Amino acid sequence: MLRHYLTLAVKVLLRRKFFTFISLFGISFTLLVLMVATAMLDHTFAPMPPETRQDRTLNVVRAAMYGPSDTSVSSAGFELFDRYARDLPGVERLSIYSSVGVVHSYIKGEKIESSLKRTDGEFWQILDFSFIEGGPYSTEDVDQARFVAVINETTRRKFFGTQPAVGKSLEADRQRFRVIGVVEDVSRLRSVPFADIWVPYTTLQSDGYKRGLLGNFNAMALATDRSALPQIRDEFRSRLDRVELPDPKESTTLVAPFETHFESYARDIGGAQKWASEKDPNSQGWKLTLVLSVAAVLFMLLPTVNLINLNMSRIMERASEIGVRKAFGASSQTLVGQFIVENVLLTLVGGLVGLVLSALVLRAISESGLIQYATFELNLRVFGYALAFALLFGLISGVYPAWRMSRLHPVDALRGGAAR
C-alpha cells in the first residue's frame, strides 16, 4: 500500500510542476533558516570539546550589587570566589579565571592583538582542550607565579609561523611568557574557554585583584554529578546572603548566580531586552527557551499557512478524480493516507534541498571569519532536528487539507463542488 501511495505521489507532484516548485521553494527556504539557526545554537550551547562536561558544569560570569539608587554590574571579584565559593558541597573541582582581555604584542614593528585569559590550574582539569603541542600549566605553576603560557593554533602561526612553539617565548603587554602548550582554536561563541593566550592569574602585575567583591573574574564549578547542581546553586546563594557589603546604605543585595552557559546567555540577552530579570537569582533560561520557541513557531506559521492554501488548491483541482475514486469505493481513510504521504514526500524533498543549502550557507559563514574561530557544521544532532522539522512541517500542512478532502461527497466532487 505504501509503495502504491509513493508511486502515485511522485506522479501527481510531477504532473503539477508549478505547485510543486512553489511548495518546494517555501519548504526549503523555511528549513534553511531554521537549520542555520539550529546549527549556530548547537555550536554555541551543545556539549563539545573543550566543554564536554556541560551537563554538570556551572559558571558565574556576572555579578551585580543592587541598592536603593544605584546598580553596579560587572564580573565578580577574585575575593568573592576565594572566600565564598571554596569547598562548596557537591563540587568536584572549582576554577577561578579572568574575563578575556585584549593584549598587544609587536613583531618586527607589526602590532598583534590577542585575547588573553588568566586562569588557575583547575581550569585545565575541568575543560577538555585538544593539545597540538605540549600541555597545560599546573596548580604549582600558578602558585609559583611562573610566566608560562598556553596559546592557540592561530597565535602560534602569527608568532612562530610553521615552527613548533613549545619552549619559545612571546611578549604580551610587556610581559614575557614561555610557551608550554598549543591548543586548537576555540570559537568565540564558547565564552568560557575562549582565548588566544592563557596564562596563570598570579602573573598579574599587582596583587590588587585579590581584593574586591566585583572585578574581572569568573568561576567554574564541576559538580560530582548532575544531582548536585541544585545544591551548589542554593549553597552559594545562601553564602552570598551573608556577605558583608562595602556600603550597606548604597548596596543592599549581591547577585552572582551559578548558571549554565545557556542560562548566562539568557540573563544577558534578556536583561538587555527587558524580558529577563537581572536581579532575580533564579534561572532565566526558561524565558529564552520560550522566546526561541515562539519565534520558531511564528516563523513556521506563515509558510505553513501558505502551503495549506496551496494544498487546498491542489485538492480542488483534483475534485473530479477524488469523486471518481469515491464512487468506485475508495474510503476516506485511503484518500487521506494518500494525500498525507504526498505532502510528507514533498516536504522531505524540500527538507533535503534545505539541508544541502544549509550546509553551503554554514560553510560560507565559517569561511568568512565573521565569528572568530567558529566552524559551523551539520552534525547528526542537527540532522535529527532537520528531519523532525521536515516531518512536522509536512504533517501540519497536510492534515487539514486531507481532512477537507475526506469530507467531499462523490456527487459534489464530480461537480467540482466544496465539501459539505
Provide the pLDDT for residue 230.
Answer: 95
How confident is the model at residue 23, as a pLDDT? 73
Q: What is the mean pLDDT of residues 191-202?
A: 97
pLDDT at 372: 93
Nearest to 302 by CA among 36, 29, 37: 29
Lowest model confidence (mean pLDDT) among 159-163, 219-223, 356-360, 416-420: 416-420
Share of the chain above pLDDT 70, in %: 78
Give per-residue pLDDT as tens, 328-343. 666 667 767 777 777 7
Q: Which residues of 234-266 are buried (b: 16+ CB within 10 A; e: fewer)?
A: ebbbeebeebeeeeeeebeebbbbbbbbbbbbb
**What type of residue is 371?**
I
DSSP assignment letter at 108: T
Average of per-residue pLDDT across 400-420:
59
Q: How confident is the model at residue 293 (pLDDT cuts 50, 70, 90)?
A: confident
Q: What is the pLDDT of residue 348?
A: 79
Confirm if 413 and 320 have CB atoms less than 8 A apart. Answer: yes
pLDDT of residue 11: 56
C-alpha cell at 280: 532575580
254 has a pLDDT exceeding 90: no
Confidence of residue 417 (pLDDT cuts 50, 70, 90): low
Q: Which of 35, 83, 77 is nearest to 387 (CA)?
A: 35
- Output b/e per residue, 178-213; b: 16+ Cβ within 10 A: ebbbbbebbbebbbbbbbbbbbbbbbbeeeebeebb
Q: What is the pLDDT of residue 420?
A: 46
CA 141 to CA 60: how far, in whole Å?
Answer: 24
Could you tell me the pLDDT band of residue 316, with boundaries at 50, 70 and 90? Answer: low
Q: Is the dihedral of CA 411, 413, 414, 416 positive or negative?
A: positive
**Residues 288 and 265: beta-carbon distance below 8 Å:** yes
Q: What is the mean pLDDT of the chain?
A: 84
Locate the DSSP E strands across 154-244. Answer: 169-172, 175-183, 197-200, 214-215, 217-223
User: Number of helices and strands (H, E) in the chain?
Assistant: 13, 14
Q: What Rg do the C-alpha atoms of the chain give, in angstroms?
A: 29
Among 69-73, 362-366, 376-380, name the one with the lowest average pLDDT: 69-73
Residues 89-116 have a mean pLDDT of 95
pLDDT in the model for residue 419: 45
Tell me the pLDDT band of 304, cut-offs 50, 70 and 90.
confident
202 and 120 Cβ atoms separated by less than 8 Å: no
pLDDT digits (tens, 9 = 90+) for 7-53: 655 555 556 666 677 777 877 887 788 888 888 888 999 899 999 99
84: how many CB neighbours lie within 10 A of its CB? Answer: 21
Mean pLDDT of 305-312: 71
Beta carbons within 8 Å of 136's beta carbon, 6+ residues apart:
121, 123, 124, 129, 150, 180, 181
- pLDDT tens by residue, 87-96: 999 999 999 9
Q: Under DSSP, is residue 52 helix (H, G, I), strand (E, B) or coil?
A: coil
Q: How high is the pLDDT of residue 328?
A: 62
